[in-house]
Structure formats: C-alpha cells, structure tokens
Amino acid sequence: MPSTHLSLHYHLIFSTKERYPFISREWRTRLHAFLGGEVRTLNGHPTEIGGVADHVHLLIGLRATHCPRLASVAPPAQQNGSPSKANKSSTGLLYPASITD
C-alpha cells in the first residue's frame, strides 16, 4: 500500500548582538530547556539544542501543518513605507528593521 511521508526539519541559529559572549555557562542549560519548551508549545519536536557563549543552534522537527500557524507569528509587513529601527509584531516581540524590510 503506497503512502507519503513528510518530515520537516529546521536548523535555526540565534546569535547575540555583535556576537558578544553574553550566554553564560551558569544559565545556558536553562536557556536551552526554555527554547525546547517553546518548540514543544508549537507541538514541534526539539531534536537537538546547543550552543556556546555567543550563539544557539536548534534542530527542530515540525509537521507540515505548522506552516500556517508559524506564519501568524512571523514579523509583520512594513506599512506606510516608512522604515523604523524596530518593528513590533502582534505577539509583542521586537524585530530589527532588517528582518521586516
């Protein structure tokens, strides 16, 4: 019996501003646990989370049905053509202007 299997894995990398070594060893494990919890909140699978003092890597698995939901929390489109230094999304998160341009 034929079937189709779809497996979506994403490698995300977050860096501190100007790669400043801000992520301390004392709380790095808690940060990784927090990020894993956020992925689970989206019903995703945090396959691997790790990093060093200036960046974090996440290897996560998401279902194909996640795409519409993730698009709803993506940075908003620029309005009125006026650039700003930071834009606030509907979730209250700030995104640098370079992401929303």
Question: Tens digit of pLDDT for each residue in 5-40?
Answer: 788 899 999 999 999 999 999 999 999 999 999 999
DSSP annotation string for 36-53: HHHHHHTT-EEEEEEEET
Within 10 angstroms of residue 76's Cβ, the number of other Cβ atoms is: 12
- Which residue is listed with tokens 């396959």? 47
CA distance from start to end of the chain: 47
Kindly tell me if the per-residue pLDDT of 42 is higher than 80: yes
Query: Which whole number is the average pLDDT over 82-98?
Result: 46
Mean pLDDT computed over 58-82:
62
Domain residue spans of the chain? 1-64, 75-101
- Residue indicated by tokens 């070594």: 21
Residues 6+ positions from 96 with CB-CB distance below 8 Å: 85, 86
- Arch. (CATH architecture) of 1-64: 2-Layer Sandwich (3.30)
pTM comes to 0.61
Report the SS3 class of residue 52.
strand
What amino acid is encoded at 53 in this protein? A
